[in-house]
Amino acid sequence: RIHPRFVEHVTNATINNNGPGVNNWGPLHLVGHSLGAHICGFAARELNKRQNRWAVQRITGLDPAQPCFRNTDTSVHLHKSDAPFVDVIHTNGRLLTSLGLGLPEAIGHIDFYPNGGKTQPGCAKSESSYFNYLPIPVTEIKRAICSHGRSYVYLTESLIFDTAHNCSFWAHQWNLTYRHLLQIIAEPCDRNICTEMGINAEKYNQRGTFFVPTASISPFCANSTDVIEEVKRQLQQDHLGDMED
CATH code of residue 104: 3.40.50.1820
Query: Would you say residue 92 lies in a domain?
Result: yes
Query: Would you say residue 230 lies in a domain?
Result: yes
Number of other residues whose CB lies within 10 A of the CB of residue 114: 26
CA atoms of 114 and 120, how far apart (whole Å):
8
Query: Would you say residue 21 lies in a domain?
Result: no
Residue pair 221/196 in contact (Cβ under 8 Å)? The answer is no
CA atoms of 122 and 118, how far apart (whole Å):
13
Active-site residues: which are they?
34, 63, 148
Query: Would you say residue 218 lies in a domain?
Result: yes
Residue pair 36/44 in contact (Cβ under 8 Å)? The answer is no
pTM of the model: 0.84
Domain count, the chain: 1
Query: Would you say residue 23 lies in a domain?
Result: no
Encode burial over 75-86: b for 16+ CB neighbours within 10 A, e otherwise.
Answer: eebbbbebbebb
Determine if the peptide bond prior to 27 is cis (ω within 30°): no
Q: What is the pLDDT along the chain (245 residues), one digit of tens a residue?
A: 445 676 667 666 666 666 555 566 678 899 999 999 999 998 898 888 776 667 899 999 999 998 788 778 888 899 999 999 999 999 998 765 566 789 999 999 999 999 999 999 998 754 444 444 445 555 667 778 899 999 999 999 999 999 988 889 999 999 999 889 888 888 888 788 899 999 999 999 999 999 999 999 999 987 666 778 888 888 887 776 554 43
Query: Would you say residue 32 lies in a domain?
Result: no
Query: Would you say residue 123 lies in a domain?
Result: yes
Range of the domain at 81: 60-242
